[in-house]
Amino acid sequence: MKPEQIHEAIGLLAEAVKQWQTPAVTIVSQREGDPFKVLISCLLSLRTQDRTTGPASGRLFALADTPEKMVNLPVSTIEEAIYPVGFYRNKTVTILNVCRTLLDNYAGKVPDEIGELLKLKGVGRKTANLVVTLGFGKPGICVDTHVHRICNRWGYVETKTPEETEYALRSKLPGRYWLVINDLLVTFGQNHCVPISPRCSTCMIAHLCDRRGVGKSR
């Protein structure tokens, strides 16, 4: 994909993804508008499918929707609420640690800067960028496995890790696409441009894609 073709690709994807389910954390941000809930939902979503993340987030927030309320819940109650998300016991520990840090260091408020969010134990660049973009509407580029895979598959970037992809996109991707790139490529990657045997024969942007690393396709 040539750099100037990203405009056409984004436009085509924006129309295509309307047929598929919106990512779970995005739904939380649209419905709640609460950076704390975006943060916690994102932590729950790691290595967990959206069909599990959404209901688990709903059950947990019905019990506690602030750091103050969360730290007063018994560990077993949180574990029961978020099960069966992946690594639910570890995530319970992470959630409680994050909430305590928010109360101790940030007056119970989620910080709106990536550097401060990265100080929270268990929060990586993907989560920090997602909180900044979805929770606060500030510029950031959230790169997960889908964004990393697809941008390299297109030939738009040539990187080895999601972090490298984030920095490559920060220097290359037009600013007006920063807030939407994650939602578009996560949805596209979950439903069409899948890791193994992507649906290239029916892809709306096949004419723009270099198909790097693609062996078998449909």
From first to last of the 218 residues of the chain, give the pLDDT tens digit.
999 999 999 999 999 999 999 999 999 999 888 999 999 999 999 989 999 999 999 999 999 999 999 999 999 999 999 999 999 999 999 999 999 999 999 999 999 999 999 999 999 999 999 999 999 999 999 999 999 999 999 999 999 999 999 999 999 999 999 999 999 999 999 999 999 999 999 999 999 999 999 999 99
Helices (H), strands (E): how many in the chain?
13, 0
Task: Check residue 132 and report its DSSP letter.
Answer: I
> Do residues 83 and 76 lie in contact, with contact meaning Cβ atoms separated by under 8 Å?
no
Amino acid at 94: T
Looking at the chain, which residues constitute the CATH 1.10.340.30 domain(s)? 24-136
**Rounded Cα gap, residues 6 and 173, in angstroms:** 8
Looking at the chain, which residues constitute the CATH 1.10.1670.10 domain(s)? 3-21+141-208
**Enzyme catalytic residues:** 126, 144
Supply the CATH classification number for the domain 24-136. Answer: 1.10.340.30
**Rounded Cα gap, residues 14 and 193, in angstroms:** 14
Cis status of the peptide bond prior to 35, with omega within 30 of 0: no
Look at the domain 3-21+141-208 and name its fold.
Endonuclease Iii, domain 2 (1.10.1670)
**Rounded Cα gap, residues 2 and 190, in angstroms:** 24
The model's pTM = 0.90
